[in-house]
Amino acid sequence: MELSRRRLLVLGAASLVAGCTSDQPSSRADATGAPSPTRSGTPTSSRSEAALPRVRRWDPDKNELVPAAKISAVRAIEKSGDRAASVVRVIDAQYGGLLPGSASVLVVCRSWARDAGGEIHGGGATYDVRLVHSGSGWQMTAVHPSHPGPPAPHLSRAAGRVLADRRIELPPAAHADVRSGQVHDSVLLAMLTLARTYRIGVSVVRSGHPTYVFGTNRLSDHPRGRAFDTWRIDGHPVVDARTPRRLVMGYMEAAAAAGSYNVGGPYLLGSAPQFFSDDTHHDHVHAGFST
């Protein structure tokens, strides 16, 4: 059953606040190329000057497999901002799962909200939007916002290096995942290794991803902090048909060399479980780690 608009707005507003309080964006540019907001909880301007940023509507790439599913998911999340007090910018929308008749679309967002005092605070979240297909198109059945957890009192050296590395673009929920201390060093060290060669646009790390591999009862590596997804490599979206095939394939091979036992993407490079390819991974590269 499709969620009512009222229920979606309530859900979106609640998770927007959660995103704002759990995220601490860095000062580097976000994945859309726009300057990131200041740290969560810190006013971005004086009360008299506070103004919500203007945001661009997200549109699917021409090379999308099922653009209608992504549009349905994204438009619902974009509308969760009430315009007067909050706005949402969609950085990316990738599949968390794609099957005939059903889908999970992970909507990766940055957000800004005006508090009761009129000050603007930046944050963000990733939403796992579930949909089913019917005669009238793609209908939402559920929305699951990310819950990264509070920052850890102490971080590993690898986590600190990832957060400081300007060649690793982390959206708010992924940034908060690393800060929570719940991402394994195997993942973080692989990111650092890949960043020596590539500029990495990370979409999803731990929170905001389906708990189980979509359509199965197998636990995903993501919620255990043992995987990360890449939606953009050296500024080129994986889904874009103009992105050089050799760039994506080279990145997949490099992820395997960096320790991933399970690399998925739009191209099949070898046999399972080392490499795999399916419709879900048409728009990003997945790298999973056993420890």
Following DSSP, what letter does each residue of 260-286 receive, concatenated?
-SEEE-SS--S-TTTEE--GGGGS-EE
Residue 35: pLDDT over 50: no
Using an 8 Å Cβ cutoff, are 72 and 140 in contact? Answer: yes
Residue in 175, 142, 115, 127 with CA at minimum distance from that of residue 15: 127
For tokens 């997200």, the residue is 58
The mean pLDDT of 143-154, rounded to a whole number, is 97
Length reported for the chain: 291
* Dihedral sign from CA coordinates of 263, 268, 271, 276: positive
pLDDT at residue number 277: 97
| Summary mean pLDDT of the chain | 86
Q: Name the residue with higher pLDDT: 89 or 43.
A: 89
Our separate counts of H helices and E strands in the chain read 6, 12
The full DSSP string for 3-40 is: PPHHHHHHHHHHHHHHHHHH----SSB-TTSSBPP-ST
What is the distance, to the nearest Å, from the Cα of residue 2 to the centroid of all Cα atoms in its chain? 23
The SS3 assignment for 137 reads: strand
Residue 60: pLDDT over 80: yes
Distances 189 to 163, 184, 207, 208, 221 between C-alpha atoms, Å: 12, 9, 19, 22, 16
Using an 8 Å Cβ cutoff, are 170 and 202 in contact? Answer: yes
Q: Domains in the chain, please, with CATH?
A: 5-145 (no CATH), 157-288 (3.30.1380)
Task: Give the rounded percent of residues in the chain with a pLDDT score beyond 90.
Answer: 74
Residue 37: pLDDT over 90: no
β strands within the chain, DSSP E: 86-99, 102-114, 120-123, 126-134, 137-145, 168-169, 200-202, 227-233, 236-237, 262-264, 275-276, 285-288
Distances 118 to 43, 138, 178, 218, 254 between C-alpha atoms, Å: 9, 37, 30, 46, 47
Residue in 127, 125, 126, 111 with CA at minimum distance from that of residue 52: 111
At CA 172, angle to CA 150 and CA 289, rounded to 5?
Answer: 80
Which pLDDT band holds residue 25 (cuts at 50, 70, 90)? very low
Dump pLDDT digits (tens) for 157-166: 999 999 999 9
Using an 8 Å Cβ cutoff, are 264 and 222 in contact? Answer: no
Q: What's the number of CA atoms in the CB half-sphere (13 Å) around residue 197?
A: 14
Two tokens, residue 14: 């609640």
Two tokens, residue 15: 């998770």
Which pLDDT band holds residue 136 (cuts at 50, 70, 90)? confident
Q: Name the residue with higher pLDDT: 188 or 41.
A: 188
